[in-house]
Amino acid sequence: MATVLLLAAFAHAAPYSADIELVNPTFDSGSVPGVDASFVGRRGTVRAGTLLQYTLDPLVYREGDTEIGAAVGSRFTTDLGVAWQIARIFEAHAFIPVAGQWGAGDVSDAASAGLGVGDLGLGAKLALLHGRDVGFSLNADVRFPTGTPDAWLGERGLRGSFGPGFSVSAGPVDILTGVSIEGRSAITTPDDLNLGSELAGDAAVRLNLIEDRFSLYLASVGRLGIGKDTGVGEMPAEAMLGAVLTPVDSIQIDLGVGHGLSAGYGSTRFRAMAGLTYVYRPPRNEESTEVDLHRDVKPEGMYELVDADDDPVMDKIPATVDTPPPPPPPPQWEKGELARVEKTQIIIRDPIKFDKSTAEIVPASRPLLAAIAQRLLEHPEILQVIIEGHSSEEGDFAFNYELSMTRAVAVYKALVEAGVDAQRLAIRALGEVVPNGTDAAENRRVVFQIVRTAQPGDPKPATTPTPVPWTGEKAK
């Protein structure tokens, strides 16, 4: 079946003010081009960027099996957009496309070559259910008639769309889907392409190969006319394959290709996409807690500086402050060394890794846990170790606290099953409130704090470990 538009035998009008684009940009957290995600980000997060698209033959006339010509041959589009997480459950976004077209055929209503502007889009998302692993939202968009007339880029009337979206994350797999009703003024051409209100749907499956850094996705978008006899050319659908890269927390790169699944308007022979998004996430604590003790507050709200020479309190403060020592250099690891005991911590060479949003320890981290257990068995003078779980800032506080707790418990169980006495281990969950740096991967960690060691005169620790608490069996 042809993957370009199937229209009537005659094409004899001027280009129309109709929007034929199927894939619009998305700047939501966790989204892919053309498919919105219902996950939410941190309040105050701003995502701004561009999506570049090249489409081949998005609008081609055919008579039966014979191709008459392209009304739009090749198009290069730059979509500029921004999304702002105004509140925890509310996000607003805007975008506008600018396109260059060329290569139209001999049909009389072909779009002329040159630059044009599409319709300005404004929209919002209300997250009725929001978590790190599941989201349900209501999405609304309005498109304003700002497009270049008679260029197949925009429409003469105001358009609006409204519908639900649902997203779920299961381990490394994210599933995104949504449906909406788009209301528009009827567009009737002398040919058999008659556009009006439509039902639009999209879906995507994304596989997170490297958490927060690299994922692959397969997506599809489509439309179906409402309340009229729908011709073949009025049921466009397209499939896309792509990748999402996040080299650093503030930059997202989208790459993808697409191909039409049906002979419908906007369904292309070939689509290539490249997107670049900048992400700003505000710090958790935006208000300053610093207090200037060297100022008097006047009733008018003005401040007056006090001379330190006349201040008896300031006279007792040393004139110079010792510079704190530089942080110690990172430890040097010997070949094959995975864990070591250093003062008040058991230091590990690599972080313990889990499946996304779960407490399932990945197999690659099992040798690291075995090394930690071995260090504890070699150092019986260590009487108490706290296994401290931390998370990154994605999702809400309650979810992150629970995740850090369940991951600490998973590590605790693994060490006990490896022969470490359960009475030597304790668990503490701190969620996201004690970050280790600005990078999400650095904050998502398990730390081993040594809080009690044997002192001279203390009784020797028991040589036989306590049975495994959840089975009563002897540890391996």
- Give the closest residue to 237 by CA, choosing from 196, 198, 205: 198
The answer on 275 and 199 residing in a single domain is yes
Query: How many alpha carbons lie under 13 Å from residue 476 in its C-beta half-sphere?
Result: 9
The answer on 344 and 270 residing in a single domain is no
pLDDT at 308: 45
- Secondary structure element (H or E) that encloses residue 26, with its range: none
Over residues 390-411, the pLDDT tens digits come to 988 777 788 889 999 999 999 9
Over residues 69-101, the pLDDT tens digits come to 788 889 999 999 999 999 888 999 999 999 999
Report yes or no: 400 and 431 within 8 Å, Cβ to Cβ: yes
pLDDT at 305: 44
d(CA 319, CA 113): 73
d(CA 204, CA 240): 9
Residue 188 in domain: yes
Residues in the chain: 476
CATH number at residue 217: 2.40.160.40
Residue 110 in domain: yes
pLDDT at 80: 95
Q: DSSP class of residue 322? A: P
Q: What average pLDDT does the segment 434-456 reach?
A: 85
- Give the closest residue to 257 by CA, choosing from 237, 241, 281: 241
The answer on 75 and 153 residing in a single domain is yes
pLDDT at 6: 34
The separation between CA 149 and the C-alpha centre of its own chain, rounded to angstroms, equals: 36
Residue 41 in domain: no
The answer on 269 and 131 residing in a single domain is yes
The answer on 242 and 363 residing in a single domain is no
The answer on 264 and 358 residing in a single domain is no
The answer on 269 and 163 residing in a single domain is yes
Over residues 177-225, the pLDDT tens digits come to 999 999 988 887 655 677 889 999 999 999 998 878 899 999 999 998 8
Q: Are strands 345-348 and 339-342 parallel, antiparallel or unpaired?
A: antiparallel
The answer on 196 and 59 residing in a single domain is yes
Residue 246 in domain: yes
End of a domain among 235, 255, 280? 280
d(CA 131, CA 109): 49
Residue 26 in domain: no
Residue 175 in domain: yes
Q: What average pLDDT does the segment 128-148 reach?
A: 89
The number of domains in the chain is 2
Sign of the torsion formed by the C-alpha atoms of 15, 21, 25 and 26: positive
The answer on 229 and 152 residing in a single domain is yes
The answer on 166 and 71 residing in a single domain is yes
Residue 240 in domain: yes
Backbone angles phi, psi at 424, to 5 degrees: -90, -5
The answer on 368 and 266 residing in a single domain is no
Structure tokens at 135: 């989201």
The residue segments making up the domain with residue 133 are 46-280
End of a domain among 236, 257, 280? 280
End of a domain among 280, 298, 314? 280
d(CA 258, CA 260): 7
CATH number at residue 437: 3.30.1330.60
Work out the number of other CB atoms within 10 angstroms of the CB of residue 181.
13
Over residues 278-322, the pLDDT tens digits come to 999 887 654 333 444 444 444 444 444 444 445 554 455 555 555
The answer on 231 and 345 residing in a single domain is no
Residue 302 in domain: no
d(CA 241, CA 253): 14
d(CA 204, CA 209): 16
Which residues, 6+ apart, have CB-to-CB distance to 431 below 8 Å? Answer: 390, 391, 397, 400, 401, 403, 404
3-state secondary structure of 305: strand
